[in-house]
């Protein structure tokens, strides 16, 4: 078996946990995965005006975008509702009012179209994202072997998750304060780079020297697998010494900060992979779009004998609905319609 699916199905995925309204049609069969469509209505420009996601605004935008987005996903996939086998929706974690839009829409459609509904955890979606092939091209990846380890790095989470098998997860380490993506966003704000901060820092870093500033590597040598990123943000603030960021120092600050985050993430992940003797390593979450992190982890994982490394194709690192449909294929049983509810603090482990 090449893919971690447990059943063959044509799945409509719906995702509204933060600031992307997304819908996708994904077919998971015994031998391959096909993304028939993958539509994202991003609210990033709206929230950029406020310097971050405003939950009330996000919910309102989801309400406007959700039906057209699902309609587009079905049209692009040339799929009629009757052809669908399942509806999968992100039920948590995320912003409550944002999640509710996706969940209530999915329930209404499941009822109207008489389809089984699956409540999917957003973090499990990020874990599943590495198994998605480029749009419409059938999958062609190496098989995942267990136990596996996932590094999930997003705007709200930084977690190391041990996967004994799909569905059996154990938290090995997590951030004690800011998530990695949150640190990127906050430092970008300090540097006047706008929102979302991750891509902006990565772009600025291309012109900078990663060794220009010796930022700390928080908790690098601590025994456990927890992370801490808020001190790094304070370190950047101190380097600015009350001055406004300038074209002269921003690229070096961005590159040095990015190098520090990547160093810590990679070192801890590789140490966990070695100590736990895992056979596969998976990267997921919005920060998985970061090229330095991708390249470094790929290189380091490649040097560990017996370890197979998976990372999401670029379009599937940040929030999307194809990963929610993919995660749905890990499950056998649908949820009773009336028990599907948004749960903003639903932790996978």
Contacting positions for Zn ion (CB under 5 A): 154, 319
Closest residue by beta carbon to Zn ion: 154
Least gap, CB of 259 to ligand KG4 (angstroms): 12
Measured between alpha carbons, how far is 74 from 298 in angstroms, rounded to an integer? 35
CB nearer to ligand KG4: give 35 or 317: 317
Q: How far is the CB of 337 from Zn ion (least distance, A)?
A: 25
Measured from the CB atom, is 124 or 182 closer to ligand KG4?
Answer: 182
CA 157 centroid distance within chain: 9
Interacting residue ranges for ligand KG4, rule: CB under 6 A: 18, 154-156, 181-182, 184-185, 196-199, 202, 285-287, 289-290, 318-319
Tokens of 241: 């010494």
Q: How far is the CB of 100 from ligand KG4 (least distance, A)?
A: 17
Instruction: Pick what 312 binds: Zn ion, ligand KG4, none; C-beta below 5 to 8 Å, kind-dependent.
Output: none
Shortest distance (Å) from residue 18 CB to ligand KG4: 5
Q: Taking Cα atoms as reference points, which of 173, 164, 249, 251 lies closest to residue 218?
A: 173
CA 118/CA 107 separation, integer angstroms: 10
**Closest distance of CB 189 from ligand KG4, Å:** 11
Residue 311 has what DSSP assignment? -
Closer residue to ligand KG4, CB minimum distance, 176 or 279: 176
**Among Zn ion, ligand KG4, none, residue 287 binds (CB under 5-8 Å by kind):** ligand KG4
CB of 19 to ligand KG4, least distance (A): 8
- Smallest CA-to-CA distance from 345 within 107, 157, 126 is with 157
| Residue placing its CB nearer to ligand KG4 in the complex, 133 or 181 | 181
Query: Which single residue is written with the structure tokens 């996967």?
Result: 163
Decide if 126 contacts 152 (C-beta within 8 A): yes
Give the one entry of ligand KG4, Zn ion, none that residue 15 binds, where binding means its C-beta sits below a cut-off of 5 to 8 angstroms depending on kind. none
**φ/ψ of residue 326, rounded to 5:** -65, -45
Distance CA 310, CA 304 (A): 14
The entry of ligand KG4, Zn ion, none near residue 289 (CB within 5 to 8 angstroms by kind) is: ligand KG4
Contact, 48 vs 125, CB < 8 A? Answer: no
Q: State the nearest-atom distance from the C-beta of 125 to ligand KG4, in Å.
A: 9
Contact assessment for residue 285 and residue 181, using Cβ atoms and an 8 Å cutoff: yes
Closest approach, Cβ 11 to ligand KG4, in A, equals: 20
**Residue 346 dihedral angles phi and psi, to the nearest 5°:** -70, 110
Residue with smaller CB distance to ligand KG4, 20 or 226: 20
Partner in contact with 208, chosen from ligand KG4, Zn ion, none, beta carbon below 5 to 8 Å by kind: none
- Burial class from Cβ neighbours inside 10 Å (0-12, 13-18, 19+) for residue 228 reads middle
Instruction: Name which of 10 and 26 has its Cβ closer to ligand KG4.
Output: 26
Q: Which is nearer to ligand KG4, 13 or 285 (CB)?
A: 285
Give the Cα separation of 218 and 286 in Å (integer): 21
Q: Which does 184 bind (CB under 5 to 8 A by kind): Zn ion, ligand KG4, none?
A: ligand KG4
Q: Are 87 and 103 spatial neighbours (Cβ–Cβ below 8 Å)?
A: no
- Partner whose binding site includes residue 185, from ligand KG4, Zn ion, none (CB under 5 to 8 Å by kind): ligand KG4
| Nearest of 51, 53, 63 to residue 99 by alpha carbon | 63
| Complex with Zn ion: residue 4 or 181, whichever CB lies closer | 181
In whole angstroms, how close is the CB of 258 to ligand KG4 at the nearest point? 8
**How many residues can be counted in the chain?**
349
27 is written with which tokens? 């077919």
202 binds, among ligand KG4, Zn ion, none (CB under 5 to 8 A by kind): ligand KG4
The DSSP 8-state label assigned to residue 252 in this structure reads H
């Amino acid at each position: 078996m090449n893919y971690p699916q447990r059943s063959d199905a044509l799945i409509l995925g719906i995702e509204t946990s933060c600031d992307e309204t997304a819908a996708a049609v994904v077919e998971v069969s015994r031998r391959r995965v096909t993304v028939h469509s993958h539509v994202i209505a991003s609210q990033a420009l709206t929230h950029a005006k406020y310097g971050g996601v405003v939950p009330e605004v996000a919910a309102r935008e989801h309400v406007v975008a959700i039906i057209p987005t699902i309609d587009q996903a079905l049209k692009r996939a040339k799929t009629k509702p009757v052809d669908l086998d399942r509806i999968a929706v992100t039920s948590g974690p995320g912003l409550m009012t944002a999640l509710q839009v996706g969940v209530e829409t999915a329930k209404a459609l499941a009822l109207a179209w008489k389809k089984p509904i699956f409540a999917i955890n957003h973090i499990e979606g990020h874990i599943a994202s590495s198994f998605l092939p480029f749009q419409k091209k059938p999958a062609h990846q190496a098989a995942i072997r267990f136990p596996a380890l996932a590094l999930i790095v997003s705007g709200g989470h930084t977690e190391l998750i041990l996967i004994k098998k799909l569905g059996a997860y154990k938290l090995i380490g997590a951030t004690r304060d800011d998530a990695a993506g949150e640190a990127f966003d906050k430092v970008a704000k300090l540097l006047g780079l706008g929102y979302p901060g991750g891509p902006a820092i990565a772009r600025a870093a291309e012109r900078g020297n990663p060794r220009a500033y010796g930022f700390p590597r928080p908790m690098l040598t601590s025994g456990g697998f927890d992370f801490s990123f808020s001190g790094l943000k304070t370190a950047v603030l101190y380097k600015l010494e009350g001055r406004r960021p300038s074209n002269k120092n921003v690229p070096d600050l961005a590159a040095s900060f990015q190098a520090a985050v990547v160093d810590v993430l990679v070192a801890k992940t590789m140490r966990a992979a070695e100590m736990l003797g895992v056979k596969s390593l998976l990267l997921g979450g919005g920060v998985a779009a970061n090229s330095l992190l991708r390249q470094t982890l790929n290189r380091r994982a490649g040097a560990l004998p017996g370890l197979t490394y998976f990372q999401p194709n670029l379009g599937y690192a940040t929030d999307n609905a194809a990963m929610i449909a993919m995660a749905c294929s890990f499950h056998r049983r649908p949820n009773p319609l009336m028990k599907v509810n948004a749960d903003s603090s639903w932790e996978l482990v």
